[in-house]
Amino acid sequence: MQTSHHAAADSARRHFELPVRVYYEDTDAAGVVYYANYLRFLERARTEWLRHAGFEQQRIIDEQHLVFVVKRIEADYHASGRLDDELRVEVAVDRLGNASLVFAQRVLRAEQVLLDARVTVVCVDIRRMKPVAIPAPLREKLRESLKEPE
């Protein structure tokens, strides 16, 4: 996986992009990206999006005892990625709740959409393993992400 990333403006919402190279370990016996590995790509992109926004997961865990837990994933596979493909994984905040948020994510090869997904995550206090409100500073960044590009 490449680690460079950049923010870009979507036609409807701001989104973040993470480039991902397909390695041999990502493929199945047919030489295509194994379906479950797309979930890993989505996770990496959400993690890097959060880091890009100024919030590191380990610091949130250490200081606030909070984690973001995936509650639901809806994914539509449209085409297959292959060994050595250069993909990009997009992340956009689609909906913001009190303790949860929904990400709209896509995996693309050039302009071809390989996967569309909606991922619902919940903010959880790891000491009690209960959902809690998303902290105000992060909530503000998330709210900004919902706005139209200027």
In a domain, 131, yes or no: yes
Cα 25 to chain centroid distance, Å, stands at 21
In a domain, 56, yes or no: yes
- The residue from 10, 28, 84, 116 that is catalytic is 28
- The whole-angstrom separation of Cα 103 and Cα 92 is 6
In a domain, 103, yes or no: yes
Give residue-wise pLDDT tens across range 87-102.
Answer: 999 999 999 999 999 9
Range of the domain at 18: 6-146
Give residue-wise pLDDT tens across range 46-73.
Answer: 999 989 888 888 999 999 999 999 999 9
Judge whether 52 and 8 are in contact, CB under 8 Å: no
In a domain, 114, yes or no: yes
Pairing of strands 86-96, 100-109: antiparallel
In a domain, 1, yes or no: no
Give residue-wise pLDDT tens across range 1-29.
Answer: 333 444 333 334 568 999 999 999 999 99
Nearest to 19 by CA among 104, 100, 88: 88
Q: How many C-beta atoms lie closer than 10 Å to residue 59's C-beta?
A: 11
Overall domain count for the chain = 1
Tokens of 127: 């000491």
In a domain, 80, yes or no: yes
What is the pLDDT, as a whole number, of residue 147?
56
pTM of structure: 0.85
Nearest to 52 by CA among 101, 96, 106, 89: 89
Tokens of 85: 């493909």
Q: Is 116 a catalytic residue?
A: no
CATH (domain of 125): 3.10.129.10
110: left (phi over 0), alpha (psi -120 to 50) or beta: left
